[in-house]
C-alpha cells in the first residue's frame, strides 16, 4: 500500500492539501507516542458509498483518547460529519479511514499536558491487507517471540500509537522469518492476537476467541463476527486459549478492519485443518461481505451512508430498515 500524495486531509477542522498536512518535528507525539487513532472502512455498494460501523469506531477513538487524558472538542456527531466531509472532499467511493488524535507542539518532556490536543483524518484506497489471494487461500503465520503487553502496563483497550511499537516487532519478525503475519501470546502464554488483528479458532464446530483480558484490543470486526456467527446459529466462546490449540484447530482466521476476515492455513509450518479456508470461515466471510456490500438488510444499523439522499433513492426500504445517518 502506498499513498497517492494528492487529495485533502482534515486537520483541526480544515481541509488541507495532502502535501501541506504537516506537523512540527518537536510535536510531542513524535517523541513520546502520545496519540490514538482508528481504522475504519468505506465500501462502494450498489446503493452508494457506506462506512461500516463508523460510530463504533469513533466511540472507541474517543474512549482511547479519554484513557490518555486527551480531550478534543468534537462530539460523536461532529466526528462523524468530519469523516464524511473528508470522504466527499476526496470524491472517494471506497476507502480506508484513519482518524487520529495526538499531542502537538508546545513543550517536550514526559508530561504531555502542556501540549495541544490536535486531530486529523486521512482517507485513501487500501485493498486486501494481507495480499490479493489471502481472503480465499489463507496466510502462513508464526507464533511470535514477542508477547503482548502485560496488564496494567499499556492499556490494551486503547488503540494507541504507543501500543503499535509492539505490533511492529511482531510484524517485522514474521516477515523476516518468511511468514505473512505473527500471533502474539499474552504474558501468561495464552493466545492474544495478531500484530493488528483479532484471532478466532474453530474446533469441532465451536468458535473460540481470546477474551479482552488477554491483552486484546476490542476489535469492531471481532464484535461483528461474533454477532454474525451467533445470528447464523454458531456457538462462540470467549475464553483463554493455549498456544497448542492453534496446531490442532479445524480452522483459524484473523479479523480486523484492514484484514476483514482472513483465513490462516498454517501456524509455525503446521497445517491448519485442510490447509485452506474452512467452511465456517467461508460462511462468516460471506455473511460479513453481504453486510458491508449492502446485499442483505442492515438489521443491525451498521452502515453510515456518505450520501444518504442517494442511498434512500436507490433503496428506500433499506434506508428505512437500516441506519440512514
Q: What are the tens digits of pLDDT across the range 47-67?
A: 999 999 999 999 999 999 999
Q: What percent of the chain has pLDDT over 70?
A: 95
Where does residue 24 rank: exposed (0-12), middle (13-18), buried (19+ CB within 10 A)?
A: exposed
CA distance 201 to 141: 14
Task: Give the span between the Cα atoms of 112 and 91, in whole angstroms.
Answer: 36
Give residue 322's pLDDT. Answer: 44
Q: Are 244 and 225 contacting, i.e. CB atoms less than 8 angstroms apart?
A: no
Q: What is the CATH number of domain 134-292?
A: 3.20.10.10
DSSP β-ladder status, 251-256 and 260-267: antiparallel
Beta strands in the chain (DSSP E): 8-11, 14-17, 35-37, 40-45, 48-52, 95-103, 117-124, 139-143, 181-185, 191-194, 198-203, 206-209, 236-238, 251-256, 260-267, 270-271, 303-305
Measured distance CA(123)–CA(16) in Å, rounded? 13
Instruction: Give the domain 8-124 fold.
Output: D-amino Acid Aminotransferase; Chain A, domain 1 (3.30.470)
Residue 76 corresponds to which cell in the numbers above? Answer: 460523536
For the question of residue 171 being annotated catalytic, the response is no
Question: CA 290, 292, 293, 294 torsion: positive or negative?
Answer: positive
Instruction: List phi, psi (to 5°) of 286.
Output: -60, -45
Contact 227, 181 (CB under 8 A): no
pLDDT at 130: 63
Quick one: average pLDDT of 144-165? 97
DSSP three-state, residue 121: strand
- Own/partner contacts of 203-208, CB < 8 Å, gap of 24 or more, are 203/245, 203/248, 203/249, 203/250, 204/250, 205/234, 205/235, 205/280, 206/234, 206/235, 206/236, 206/237, 207/234, 207/235, 207/236, 207/237, 207/280, 208/236, 208/237, 208/238, 208/239, 208/241, 208/245
pLDDT at 317 over 70: no
For the chain, what are the domain ranges?
8-124, 134-292
**Residue 321: per-residue pLDDT:** 44
C-alpha cell at 228: 454474525
DSSP 21-45: ----TT-HHHHH--EEE--EEEEEE
Which segment of 71-80, 108-117, 204-213, 313-322 scores lowest on mean pLDDT? 313-322
Neighbours of 131 (CB within 10 A): 12
Candidates 95, 50, 127; CA nearest to 291 is: 50
The answer, yes or no, to whether residue 68 has pLDDT greater than 50, is yes
Stretch 233-260: mean pLDDT, rounded? 97
Active-site residue, selected from the candidate residues 8, 47, 159, 171: 159
Residue 311 confidence class, pLDDT cut points 50, 70, 90: confident
Residue pLDDT, tens place only, 125-140: 987 666 668 899 999 9
Amino acid at each position: 500500500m502506498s499513498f497517492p500524495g494528492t487529495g485533502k486531509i482534515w486537520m483541526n477542522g480544515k481541509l488541507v492539501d495532502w502535501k501541506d498536512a504537516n506537523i512540527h518535528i518537536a510535536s510531542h507525539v513524535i517523541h513520546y507516542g502520545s496519540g490514538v487513532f482508528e481504522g475504519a472502512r468505506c465500501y462502494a455498494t450498489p446503493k452508494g458509498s457506506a462506512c461500516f460501523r463508523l460510530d463504533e469506531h469513533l466511540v472507541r477513538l474517543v474512549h482511547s483518547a479519554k484513557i490518555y487524558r486527551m480531550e478534543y472538542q468534537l462530539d460523536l456527531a461532529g466526528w462523524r460529519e468530519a469523516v464524511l466531509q473528508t470522504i466527499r472532499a476526496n470524491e472517494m467511493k471506497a476507502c480506508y479511514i484513519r482518524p487520529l488524535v495526538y499531542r502537538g507542539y508546545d513543550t517536550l518532556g514526559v508530561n504531555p499536558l502542556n501540549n495541544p490536543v490536535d486531530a486529523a483524518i486521512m482517507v485513501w484506497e487500501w485493498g486486501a491487507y494481507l495480499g490479493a489471494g489471502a481472503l480465499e487461500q489463507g496466510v502462513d503465520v508464526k507464533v511470535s517471540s514477542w508477547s503482548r503487553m502485560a496488564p496494567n502496563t499499556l492499556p490494551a483497550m486503547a488503540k494507541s500509537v504507543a501500543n503499535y511499537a509492539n505490533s511492529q516487532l511482531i510484524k517485522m519478525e514474521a516477515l523476516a522469518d518468511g511468514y505473512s503475519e505473527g500471533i502474539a501470546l499474552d504474558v501468561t502464554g495464552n493466545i492474544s492476537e495478531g500484530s493488528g488483528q483479532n484471532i478466532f479458532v474453530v474446533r469441532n464446530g465451536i468458535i473460540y476467541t481470546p477474551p479482552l483480558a488477554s491483552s486484546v484490543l476490542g476489535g469492531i470486526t471481532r464484535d461483528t463476527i461474533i454477532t454474525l456467527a451467533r445470528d447464523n446459529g454458531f456457538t462462540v466462546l470467549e475464553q483463554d486459549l493455549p498456544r497448542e490449540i492453534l496446531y490442532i484447530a479445524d480452522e483459524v482466521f484473523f479479523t480486523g478492519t484492514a484484514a476483514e476476515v482472513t483465513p490462516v492455513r498454517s501456524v509455525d509450518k503446521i497445517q491448519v485443518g485442510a490447509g485452506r479456508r474452512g467452511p465456517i470461515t467461508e460462511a462468516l466471510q460471506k455473511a460479513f461481505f453481504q453486510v458491508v456490500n449492502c446485499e442483505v438488510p442492515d438489521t443491525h444499523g451498521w452502515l453510515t451512508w456518505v450520501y444518504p439522499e442517494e442511498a434512500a433513492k436507490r433503496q428506500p426500504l433499506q434506508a428505512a430498515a437500516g441506519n440512514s445517518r
